[in-house]
Amino acid sequence: MASSYKVTYFDIMGLGEPIRVLLSYGGLDFEDFRVQRESWPSLKPSMPMGQMPTLEYNGKIAHQSMAICRFLAKQVKLVGKDDWEDLEIDAMVDTVNDFRQKIAKYHYESNEQLKEEYGKILFNEIIPFYLEKLDSQAKTNNGYLVGGRLTWADLVFLGLLDYMEFMAKKDLLCKSPNLQRVKENVLSVPNIKKYIEKRPNKH
């Protein structure tokens, strides 16, 4: 039987990984279509906004990774208990993505001097600030990011963590015990554990 879901992304974890983790959590069968770098230029114009990842479902195609994750969170029932908790989850997801973008700005900077200057601010101020705030949030929520239980914010965090650590060239959680608990709590879910064990471990 054909998969109902098709994820199209580069052959790396990157922004595609939270989507793959959410689908795996729900035990939803999906085609994990991985575009090789050399095929991308010819494929790019056919993508909505010229970007990946995309999700195909029931003959329709969607883009924007976090919008896709929010949709899948509803499918697999990892959303908030009411509209306010959904707002708290959304705010956490946006904060994790702000953090990712600040690290990406460093990783993708091609001017060595600018990279070094920004690196000082990133490693001395920005990363410690975010980690402290996020770790405190995880402490309050008993090893989860929102609501004291597993939500899609935790899966997004776990899904983006490898990419962020790859870009920062740094173990980000070594001094953040409560964020380590978030990571462990997500990884202990049997469906996710199973996915992580067999996934292509590429950056």
- Of the listed pieces 13-21, 38-46, 84-92, 159-167, which binds a copy of itself according to CB under 8 A? 84-92
Asked if 172 contacts 2 with a C-beta cutoff of 8 angstroms, the reply is no
Query: Can you tell me which of 43, 91, 121, 187 binds a copy of itself, judged by CB under 8 A?
Result: 91
Asked if 81 interacts with a copy of itself (CB under 8 A), we say no
Cis preceding-peptide flag for 41 (omega within 30 of 0)? no
Shorter beta-carbon distance to a copy of itself: residue 67 or 187:
67
How many whole angstroms from its chain centre is CA 104? 13
Distance CA 39, CA 8 (A): 12
Give the Cα-Cα-Cα angle 91, 105, 111 (nearest 5 degrees): 170
* Residues 26-55 as x/- pattern, contact with a copy of itself by CB under 8 A: ----------------------xxx-----
Q: Site size for a copy of itself, by CB under 8 A?
A: 29
Asked if 84 interacts with a copy of itself (CB under 8 A), we say yes
- 110-129: contacts with a copy of itself (CB under 8 A): 114, 129
Note the residues at the interface with a copy of itself (CB under 8 A): 48-50, 57, 60, 62-64, 66-68, 70-71, 74-75, 83-84, 86-88, 90-91, 93-95, 98, 114, 129, 133
